[in-house]
């Protein structure tokens, strides 16, 4: 099996898992319903993305035990809906609105930047330094952090933020640094790195863009 099989199974089953929690705890309040809509649709969009412009890093093969382990680790993201639904907590309207806004922004940055990367590299290899990657070298990761940050906020509990922090520090950041190391082979990378942020956009005066990248 491949890494993406565990990821896709987790993303695709999220809506069913959250719905089952809502029925199990007889909680169909507004916050759980919005959570179901946001996280469930995110999983569906992920499956669509995998069919249209898949990420090659998830094509790596792994053993069945490792695949199961990967799925179980990803299952920690379901702690957020469980805390929200099982506790019956009333989430403030402002927090719900902020979570929806963060989710929309995150989905936009994540899926559109991945689309730019995929279709650019399909026709041109090199360093991508324009569009969504002009001021941020990892706009897709920024989007993903915002997405899961919105889920954590909507849960109205601190534990999902800790889980997101662990994923960010142990998976996202190492992957970003690994990509930087790979891209450093391009002569123009140093100048690009100086005018762009690792995950947060660096707001500097515009500078001429150079080329395109197979890992960007």
Residue 212: per-residue pLDDT: 53
- SS3 call for 183: helix
**Amino acid 205: pLDDT:** 57
Task: Kindly state the helix (H) or strand (E) to which residue 63 belongs, with its residue range.
Answer: none
Other CB atoms within 10 Å distance of the CB of residue 132: 23
Domain-wise residue ranges, the chain: 3-194
pLDDT per position as a tens digit, 50-90: 999 999 888 889 999 999 999 999 999 999 999 999 999 99
**Using 50, 70 and 90 to split pLDDT, how confident is the model at 216?**
very low
DSSP string, 146-172: HHHHHHHHHHTSSHHHHHHHHHIIIII
pLDDT tens per residue, range 3-53: 999 999 999 999 999 999 999 999 999 999 999 999 999 999 999 999 999
Q: Which of 35, 33, 36, 26 is nearest to 86 (CA)?
A: 26
């Amino acid at each position: 099996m491949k890494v993406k099989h565990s990821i896709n199974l987790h993303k695709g089953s999220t809506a069913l898992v959250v719905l089952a929690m809502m029925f199990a705890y007889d909680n169909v309040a507004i916050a759980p319903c919005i959570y179901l809509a946001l996280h469930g649709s995110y999983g569906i969009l992920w499956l669509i993305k995998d069919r249209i412009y898949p990420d090659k890093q998830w094509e790596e093969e792994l053993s069945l035990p490792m695949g199961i382990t990967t799925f179980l680790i990803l299952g920690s993201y379901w702690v957020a809906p469980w805390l929200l639904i099982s506790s019956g907590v009333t989430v403030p309207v402002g927090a719900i609105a902020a979570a929806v806004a963060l989710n929309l922004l995150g989905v936009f940055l994540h899926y559109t930047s991945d689309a730019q990367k995929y279709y650019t590299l399909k026709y041109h290899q090199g360093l991508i330094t324009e569009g969504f990657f002009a001021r941020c070298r990892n706009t897709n990761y920024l989007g993903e952090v915002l997405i899961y940050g919105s889920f954590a906020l909507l849960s109205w509990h601190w534990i999902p933020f800790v889980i997101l922090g662990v994923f960010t520090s142990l998976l996202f950041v190492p992957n970003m640094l690994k990509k930087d190391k790979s891209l450093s082979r391009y002569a123009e990378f140093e100048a690009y790195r100086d005018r762009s942020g690792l995950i947060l956009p660096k707001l500097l005066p515009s500078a001429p863009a150079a080329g395109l990248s197979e890992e960007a």
